Amino acid sequence: MTEKYFSMREEPVTYGTEATNATTHPPKFFKLINETLVPTREDFFVDTTQYWSVGEKAEGFFRMSGDVDILVDPVIFPYVLVLGLGDPSLANGASGSVQQGSTTAYKHTFRFGHKEVYTQNGTGLKSFTCRVGEGVEKDRTIYGGFIRGMTFEAVSRERVTCTLDVIGNGHEKLETANSTPYADTDIANGYALYTQPYYTFNSASVMTVGSNDRLAAAPKIESFRLTLERGLDADFYPLGSRYLGDILLSGMASITGSMDFAFESQDEHERFLSAVSSYETGNQASFATVLTFHGGTAGNGAYYYDMTFTLPKTYYTTSTPSVSARDRIVQRVDFKAAYDLTTNCAAQIDVTNIATSYV
């Protein structure tokens, strides 16, 4: 029986070439919600009323891009962060995988918005081969994958999801379908991968905006969306190649998002104007935003399978507490995050699980 799934596997040696060592670079399989990975081919056609003597078409080049929606969990999902943000690291450059006490739990710190580097088989951003199971005949293998952006969504009464903006080098192959994608284990770390549940809106245990608790105190938060984006040159096609030549970072990185609040208090609109308890537009001071998803116990029961998003310097850009007849008012604020010198990043994601490292 064929399965519907999405998998990613680092390309450690050559861009566009799948890893061959199943022990050091095994594929990781993700529960697929939606995918729109669309291949296109841009051939050359004669654009006149006269035909060419040897035919009217010449082969051009291939492109691949689209979105993939997957669930967020504390065990499988961190491999997306390894590929899309680089290996865990602390602000001082030390390893970001730290054992918690003397337990089997480890805390892994991923950072975005500093000096990003893409290197083959390095600690920075990584390319990967991805595979899509469609539940039909054969699975689609897509080479030269790279994450241009990721959007996290935690919305009331919904699962926590992440939408990956993926680009490929254009090379695709149909291969024998994988009928047991979720039977694998993490060989390097020696534990079963697919045992922890994914997060839902009810997993939120901490949500502070400028140190104000927005889970318990008005205005209470109803949704949180965060988008991490980076620039990439998607037009690097060397002479003689039908596929994208390599990953070349180009342009800026940005962190944007939005939050929805039940408009029972004007505190967050005041913060947009300038600061809480300030009632007029003025210069807005930055504030920290922290959201933690709480999972099951880990590390001999002393710790938990948690994931924390921290934006050290957040700024509101819009606030819309709009009135519509006698309907309940929901205030939406859009925000941007800026680089913070202390944490050496603009966004930080901390994951606690029992993986010892991601190197």
Q: How confident is the model at residue 48 (pLDDT cuts 50, 70, 90)?
A: low
- The pLDDT of residue 114: 86
Better-scored residue on pLDDT, 54 or 100:
100
CA–CA–CA angle 147, 332, 230 (5° rounding)? 20
Q: Is the pLDDT of residue 324 over 70?
A: yes
Q: Is the pLDDT of residue 53 over 80?
A: no
- The pLDDT of residue 119: 84
Write down the mean pLDDT value for the chain. Answer: 92
Give me the residue label for tokens 């051009």: 60
Better-scored residue on pLDDT, 115 or 253:
253
- The pLDDT of residue 301: 87
Name which of 347, 351, 224, 349 is nearest 295 in CA terms: 351
* pLDDT tens digits for range 299-311: 888 999 999 999 9
C-alpha–C-alpha distance, residues 89 and 265, integer Å: 38
Query: What token pair was written down for 190?
Result: 């020696």
- Residues of the chain with pLDDT > 90: what percent? 75
- The pLDDT of residue 41: 95
Q: How confident is the model at residue 111 (pLDDT cuts 50, 70, 90)?
A: very high
Q: Is the pLDDT of residue 353 over 60?
A: yes
The CB-side HSE value for 299 (13 A sphere, CA atoms) comes to 21
Residue 106 CB partners (closer than 8 Å, separation 6+): 97, 98, 99, 100, 352, 353, 354, 355, 356, 357
* pLDDT tens digits for range 16-40: 999 988 888 888 999 889 999 999 9
The pTM is what?
Answer: 0.94
Distances (CA, A) of 161 to 31, 198, 258: 10, 9, 15
Q: How confident is the model at residue 85 (pLDDT cuts 50, 70, 90)?
A: very high
Question: What pairs with residue 74 in β-bridges?
Answer: none
- The pLDDT of residue 186: 74
* pLDDT tens digits for range 172-212: 999 999 888 887 777 666 677 888 999 999 999 999 999 99
- Mean per-residue pLDDT for 272-290? 93
Distances (CA, A) of 83 to 39, 107, 195, 272: 22, 18, 22, 34
Q: Is the pLDDT of residue 55 over 90?
A: no
- The pLDDT of residue 308: 98
Q: Is the pLDDT of residue 52 over 70?
A: no
- The pLDDT of residue 261: 96
- Mean per-residue pLDDT for 95-103? 94
Quick one: three-class SS letters along the chain?
CCCEEEEEEECCCCCCCCCCCCCCCCCEEECEEEECCEEEEEEEECCCCCCCCCCCEEEEEEEEEEEEEEECCCCCCHHHHHHHHCCCECCCCCECEEECCCCCCEEEEEEECCCCCECCCCCCECCEEEEEEECCCEEEEEEEEEEEEEEEEEECCCECEEEEEEEECCCEEEEECCCCHHHCEECCCCEECCCCCCCEHHHEEEEEECCEECCCCCCCEEEEEEEEECCECCCCCCCCCCCCCCCCECCCCEEEEEEEEECCCCHHHHHHHCCCCCCCCCCCCCEEEEEEECCCEECCCCEECCEEEEEEEEEEEEEECCCCCCCCCEEEEEEEEECECCCCECEEEEEEECCCCCC
- The pLDDT of residue 190: 67
Q: How confident is the model at residue 50 (pLDDT cuts 50, 70, 90)?
A: low
Report the relative pairing of strands 38-45 and 57-71 from DSSP bridges.
antiparallel
Name which of 40, 87, 47 is nearest 244 in CA terms: 40
